[in-house]
Amino acid sequence: MGSRIWLIAGPTASGKSALALRLAELTGGEIVNADSQQLYADLRLLSARPSPEEEARAPHHLFGVADAADGWSVGRWLRAATETLAELAARDGPAIVVGGTGLYFRALTRGLAEIPQVPPFVRRAAENDHQALGEAAFRARLAAVDPAAAARIAVGDRQRLVRAWEVWSATGQALSDLQGTGEPLLAPGSWAGVALEPPREALYARCDARLAAMVEAGALQEVAALVARSLDPALPAMKAVGVRELAAHLSGEMTLEAAVALAQQETRRYAKRQMTWLRGQMGDWPRITGLDPRDQWRQFLALNPGLTA
């Protein structure tokens, strides 16, 4: 890639989108989404996708490009990101890749290997084990051989837990290790990465406030539209944080207050998993701490002395 590429990673609600937008406006760069939930057109509110006004301030790519019925894999995102970055490089334009999906950044910088095919009997055994052990015990067993997968996979995501265990059973290698053994898309020296790592309690408070604001802005209607489509619950969009909890309220299973509180709890857990991933997989990336946008920008400029505000 001939152009300068910045990678901005961080947990949900950490301010990375605002930082990316400010950088894009300063450099004339274009923003590329690296958040698995912001891919989906159906999740503008719950995924905290940039608003139409924000998208108008700088070119944005791979935001809201997928339908909820169409589940994107890491490989599919990587192919789309490859094409986008190549187009920007051809125009000699700066690229700013921003998001909270650590595996996307790992695929960019370390590559994405082809995972060996798992025999059907191994897959069935893994599914039976999950059912017999229960999620907590199954996750603990996975953590002994693939701690990165056990940390990043969301609570209730049976499909990905089983997938990680079946790969280990079939290959004797952790899925997390295999996912980083391909040919990296970005050559060393062609990119600069930064990770946002604000104080945990302050981040949790922002997560809670933002979830409440999402509901005020119409997140219930967003979830109602998804539920009305009767989509497969295993689809990535249907497992987005907040969908299951608000859907439970819409079906009469719990009050709105209880659903919001549960969704806030899941958001905090999601942020914790993201920060665990950043520490484990991006420990050598420079850090930006704090939540104040002005402080974050000052720290970013200090890490990139070639930029002038």
**Over the chain, what is the mean pLDDT?**
91
What's the whole-number mean pLDDT along residues 172-190? 77
pLDDT in tens, 182-228: 677 898 889 999 999 999 999 999 999 999 999 999 999 999 999 99
Q: Where are the alpha helices (DSSP H) in 91-190?
A: 102-110, 120-133, 135-145, 147-152, 158-171, 175-178
Q: Which domains does the chain have, with CATH numbers?
A: 5-113+180-303 (3.40.50.300), 120-178 (1.10.20.140)
Joined together, the tokens standing for residue 243 give 């969908």
Determine which of 10-14, 181-185, 219-223, 287-291 has the lowest per-residue pLDDT on average.
181-185
What's the whole-number mean pLDDT along residues 44-70? 97
What is the identity of the amino acid at 103? Answer: L
pTM of the model: 0.82
Q: Are 73 and 36 in contact (CB under 8 A)?
A: no
